[in-house]
Structures are given as structure tokens and as C-alpha cells.
Structure 1
């Protein structure tokens, strides 16, 4: 079966390393920032006062004072808890700080457009992409057992040029990086797995659908396994349909979702309204038990997608999001091992158990599914 051309091209000869949880990625990130010589670019959704933000912003201020060009873009909604002290310190150190889509009633419905990307680029030589935020839920200097489960990927190689272009495009507010324009460019598809193979997938506030399009193409081609991990399971109809079709043709399809450890219980209950049909079709559902599962990752056979996109309606229609897609065997294996271990630490939900759930749970699911149904109907009409 053939597959259409992707938006941004595949790049070979990269190096990728999966860093699981803040205990791994924050020390690596802070060490890499200390090595910067020319420029640092940071894009984050979540930032608030705390030990994590202090460690990160201290490093950025030090580098800016050394003459390194430091640019930081924070989302005005997600980072609204960052206090004035840090805002002033960053400015005084020479860090160029911008706020995406400042909160104002004059913006109307555009207020829902958010920059959800998590990206750090250093000198064009190293980069980090994933789902972290500069909050203590992700990392503190002292171990904290209930820190959120999250990953970042450390990257070097030619794919960094595309990540830099993506950052510069939004920083400069240029319309050149358009999904529809790039789709028409017909970049060549690289169908075989290879060492260091990766590409940038992105979604924008203009309903640019690179991440969704790529995911759907892969689900259609799935032959052996699918594992989708997301903290907010509100998938589009097209994603649910492909998951069910894959399970019915014999592919092992696993969903790794949150348990009662979640920062948005209503979203969890709303997403559970899809459980019955998925379980009946043979999809396996696991609810991660140790702590809040915040990572966003998809494994389909020998392909992975890791980044900031939750694969939900909100992210796919409103947010600026960015994922790394890769067919690098070592990265694919690392992701597969992580997801397999996470499933072992999860509660498996069976169809029989789900049919016997308490009435109180059914009521919560029904109540919180009402706004979700309204949103789904409105967005489906816009497609």
C-alpha cells in the first residue's frame, strides 16, 4: 500500500535519545544550556514559579548575560502563573521574552488558540522536544514520587534545521510555513526504517493537520502493533475509526491513558464514553496507576511520534503543536520498551468490567460527555 508524501521531509543521520521523566531530561537540558555559545530558543506552554522554573530560567539568564542570544516564547494562558519577579529578571538579563496570544476579551474566540509546543534549541547543534513544562510537577532537585510521567527526546543532526525553521516561522510571524503549501511540495517519502531517520510534524492554529494526517496514514498501514499514550483521550472520529479498524484486522491496539491521577478529571470522564465501543472491537485499554501520565506518544509498528500533541480535538484544531516522528530503530525500541513497562504498571480495563461499572461512574461520564459532544459536533461541521 502506498502512502502520500509528508509535509516536512524525512532527514537521515540524526541521533535521538529518549529521556524518561524529569530525573533524566532536566539535568541533561540544564547541562546542554550551559554549553551554549551562540543562541538558545525556548518554547513552552507551562511555566510557573517554583524550583523547576528557577533552575531553567537561572541558566537562561546566565547565558544571556554572557552574550548568548536567548529567545523565549511562553503561552499567555499556560504560563500565567509565572510571577513578575521572573519576568523582570529575564528582561534585565537580556532574555527576549514573548507571550503567545495574550488574554483579552477583545480577541473573541481566538482566545482559545494556544501555543502548546515544548521545544528547546541550542546553537543549531542540539535540541529537546517532548511534553515538559517549567513547573515542579515535572522536576525538582529533590526526588518527588508523584511527579508527572513525561518524556523528552534529545536530538542532534540535520533535522534540527527544520525545528529551527518552525520556531523562527512563528517567532517572526511569517506565513511561509503553511501546511497546505508544504503538502503541495510533494517531499519524497522515505518508507524504510533507517538509523537516525526523523522528521518534524506540526499543527497550527489555522487547522493545519500534519500531525493528524500523519497519524491516520500510519494507523491505516498498521500491521502488528499500535500503542497510543495520551493524558487527555478525546480523539477525533477519524482516529477512533482507524483504531477500531486496526483492531478488527488483528493488529494489537493498546491505549495507555490516565487513572484517577489526573489534573482534569472531567476530561477523563468525558473520554471514557468511547471505552465501550473500543473494548468491544478488541482495543486494549490501560489506565496508568503510579502517577499522572502526561506523555504523548504513539507507536505504530516501526514508527513513533513523540511531542506535545495530545491527539485530542482541542490540540488538533486549536493548538500550535509539534511532534518528532522517527523510524530510527533504537528510538523506536526505546519507546516500545517504555510503553510496555508502562502498560505493566497500569490497570487493564476489560469489556466485562466496564459493563459492570458503578452507576456513580456512569453518571459522571454522562454529565461530562455533554460538553464534549457539543464540541465534537461543532468541530466536525467545520471539517
Structure 2
């Protein structure tokens, strides 16, 4: 049984002294991460949902191998559902170089189908030498760069320096290191000092299925309640709970300019269908809805008024809000908020279409009934997540001989089965 003290510390208090840099799409994100790994001297901690064996994955592979071979301690945690297609040779190249390679909830396929769909490790975090962090929604795959073509994803991440990196560092350790390993570590003492790097206040917020099942959604709802003049939410998979929708509607009705950017060219057709069922309720309350139509939107970002922002891995759908392991940073900084708003404003002005509310009397009865039923069904969300099939997620460490050893002591594995 994992005790409470083994879980990463959570706080609703703002941590001062941080600096955030917005990174848009793989063109800005991947070079920064690869350069940071190349400069690492002590440790690389990397978590990702998807690691693909394409040009991006191979570039990351080379950087991790080079770091391990020069004596850097490298830990990689990938999700067994998102990263299921890695070849034995790809993984062996990492492990043989000394990379500690782990898989969250590895599963076997049946007739080509992956069965371990629920309760995924969906975080995307990198921490270098305990001092420099990256967090956002970008996976390590070629579909995050423009030359992939019309299916290339639009996405965001941030580079982080400052005291809040300590919380990111702690989480990545807790996810992959057993209690015995943590006790044996001597290197951590050399990387605990994290001087102030800027003026931004921040909160590192995670969602798990044990102690913090709704922290990310709660921060969103608090910000919506406090909004005074503007809200912009850009999210790839949007189907939140009733309370979230209620706060958006209330903000719009008291005069806040509430804008929602969703997928107009979705990577899965059901994504747009599900979100569109909420349009009538949002539009009639005054929320402005935009669909990004240039390519699939994969971002998970938002801003409120002039200082509050969030960037991370969490979608606003049942999987992210009730089942997956997720991580966001909440940022209180006027200059970062302005940069994010400028990027999203350009998106809305040049690459989105605005959805208009139907004229009064033009809403057909079937559509109204469907919308009403879906809206009120969400009153039970996310409570129904506990009804979904459960299994015991685990973390497997890949050994040099290619075998997997389950790390039963990992808090990430032990926390996941509990219903949120």
C-alpha cells in the first residue's frame, strides 16, 4: 500500500519566481528539448504518452543514447497504449546504452486491437538536471511538425525555469523510482537548488485516480468563476462535465467574452460530433465557438483575463478529467498571458470559422431534444467513471535482455486503479 507521503506534494499556493516560454508546435518544441538533453550533465527525466519510431522518435532516441553514454542518468516512461508500436530493436538501443526505459501498463493486443484503453499515463513532461522543465501536449512523433502534411497537429508546450520545476522533478521521480531507489539516490542533493528565474507565479497541477481526481478541472472552474472580461479555451477534445459548462455559461451571461476553440478538422470524427452536441447551450448563453479548420487541433491551453493561463496534457473530456494521469501548469503572469492570447487571436482570426447560433425559431425539435438530453446527462459526469472497467495498471522496466520486470513499488502504478 502506497502511503500519502509517497505522492508528489500538491498545493493551491502560487510558487513565485518562474519563467515560462511558450513553444508552439514541434518546430519550436523539439529543438529545445533535444538541445536541453544534449546539455544535460546529471539527469534526464522524460514522460510521454506517445513515442513513435519515426524521424522525431529517432532523433530523441539518438539524444537519449548520447546522454546515457556520457554518464547522464536517463529515465524514460512511455504509455503502453500510446507507444505500443515501438520495435524491440528501438527499445534495446536505449536500454543497452543505459537508459532506464519503463512502460506504463504494457498491454497485449488481441487480433490487432489494443485492449488496455482506459486509465492511461497521458502526461508529457521533461526535466533536465532538476532545473529545466518542459510540459504541454506535444508527443514525440512526426505528426507534430508541419511537413507531415494536412494531418499535422496544432499544439503547445512551455519551457519552464524556476522553483516550480522542483514539483515536476518530484513527480517524475515518484512515477518511476521505487522507494528503495529513492533512498539510495545521492545525486538529488546536487540539483535541489532552483533559484528564481523570472516573475511568474505558478502551480503544478496533476490529475490521478487516487488523491487528486479533479484538481485540473477545479482550477479551470475557479478561474471561470473569477473571470471579469475574457476567457479563451483551446482544447482538442471537449466534452467536460455539467459544472464546467455551467461556469462557462455563467461567465458569458455576466458579460465576459468567452471564446472556445475546438477541432474543425478532427483526427477522430466522434470528437466534433460530441462537442457539437454542446454548441446550442453554449451559444445561447453567449459563448463564442470557433472551429480550427487548417489541420487537427491537439492543444490544451486556456487563458482568463490578463494574467491567468494554463498549458498541459489534459483535454477537457471524460478520459482526461476522470481516468488518465495528467499534468498542467497554471501560470499567473501578464506577459505570458499576452503572448498566448496573441497566438490564439491569430488562430481565431485567420484559421478558424465561428459557429453561429441558429436564428430564434429555427432550432429543430430533434436537435433540441438531443442537446437537452446530453447536457443534463453530464450532471452525472464524472461520477460514472467509477462504473467503467477496472484493471491494475503497472509499470514495467525493460531489462537489457529484453524482458519486462514489473515495478510493483511505483506510486504511479499503485495510484491508478482507484476510481476518480
Q: Which of 28, 42, 52 is the equivalent residue of 1:24?
A: 28
Q: Which of 202, 215, 235 is the equivalent residue of 1:210?
A: 215
1:155 equivalenced with 2:157 (yes/no): no
1:254 equivalenced with 2:254 (yes/no): no
Q: State the shift of 1:65 in Å.
A: 0.8
Q: State the shift of 1:263 in Å.
A: 1.6
Asked if the contact 2:133/2:161 (under 8 Å) is kept, the reply is yes
Report the counterpart of residue 407 of structure 2 in structure 1.
none
Structure 1 residues without counterparts, runs of 5 or longer: 1-5, 175-193
Q: Which runs of 4+ in 1 moved over 3 A?
A: 142-146, 353-359, 371-377, 379-383
RMSD: 3.2
Q: Which of 324, 339, 342 is the equivalent residue of 2:347?
A: 342
Q: State the shift of 1:172 in Å.
A: 3.1
Cα distance in structure 2, aligned partners of 1:62 and 1:132:
22
Report the counterpart of residue 102 of structure 1 in structure 2.
106
Alignment size in residue pairs: 354
TM-score by length of 2: 0.77
Report the counterpart of residue 286 of structure 2 in structure 1.
282
1:232 equivalenced with 2:240 (yes/no): no
Report the counterpart of residue 247 of structure 2 in structure 1.
242
Q: What per-residue deviation string (whole Å, max 9, x for no partner) do you get for residues 51-90 of structure 1?
A: 1101111100110111100000000001112222211111
TM-score by length of 1: 0.84
- Report SS of the residue matched to 1:352: coil
Cα distance in structure 1, aligned partners of 2:67 and 2:289:
45
Report the counterpart of residue 200 of structure 2 in structure 1.
196
- Report SS of the residue matched to 2:284: helix
Q: Which of 127, 130, 134 is the equivalent residue of 1:124?
A: 130
1:85 equivalenced with 2:89 (yes/no): yes
Q: State the shift of 1:100 in Å.
A: 0.7
The verdict on how the C-alpha distance between 1:355 and 1:7 changes in structure 2, with shifts beyond 3 A counting, is farther
Structure 2 residues without counterparts, runs of 5 or longer: 1-9, 110-114, 180-197, 388-418
Q: State the shift of 1:114 in Å.
A: 0.6
Report the counterpart of residue 191 of structure 2 in structure 1.
none
The verdict on how the C-alpha distance between 1:89 and 1:354 changes in structure 2, with shifts beyond 3 A counting, is farther
Q: State the shift of 1:205 in Å.
A: 2.4
Cα distance in structure 2, aligned partners of 1:372 and 1:82:
37
Cα distance in structure 1, aligned partners of 2:39 and 2:149:
28
Cα distance in structure 2, aligned partners of 1:325 and 1:214:
8
Cα distance in structure 2, aligned partners of 1:232 and 1:41:
27
The verdict on how the C-alpha distance between 1:269 and 1:353 changes in structure 2, with shifts beyond 3 A counting, is farther
Q: Which of 205, 212, 226 is the equivalent residue of 1:221?
A: 226
Cα distance in structure 1, aligned partners of 2:29 and 2:270:
30
The verdict on how the C-alpha distance between 1:279 and 1:163 changes in structure 2, with shifts beyond 3 A counting, is same
Cα distance in structure 1, aligned partners of 2:360 and 2:26:
33
Asked if the contact 1:195/1:329 (under 8 Å) is kept, the reply is no
The verdict on how the C-alpha distance between 1:134 and 1:237 changes in structure 2, with shifts beyond 3 A counting, is same
Asked if the contact 1:101/1:111 (under 8 Å) is kept, the reply is no
Q: State the shift of 1:149 in Å.
A: 0.6
Cα distance in structure 2, aligned partners of 1:170 and 1:144:
35
Report the counterpart of residue 183 of structure 1 in structure 2.
none
Report the counterpart of residue 143 of structure 2 in structure 1.
137
Q: State the shift of 1:353 in Å.
A: 7.5
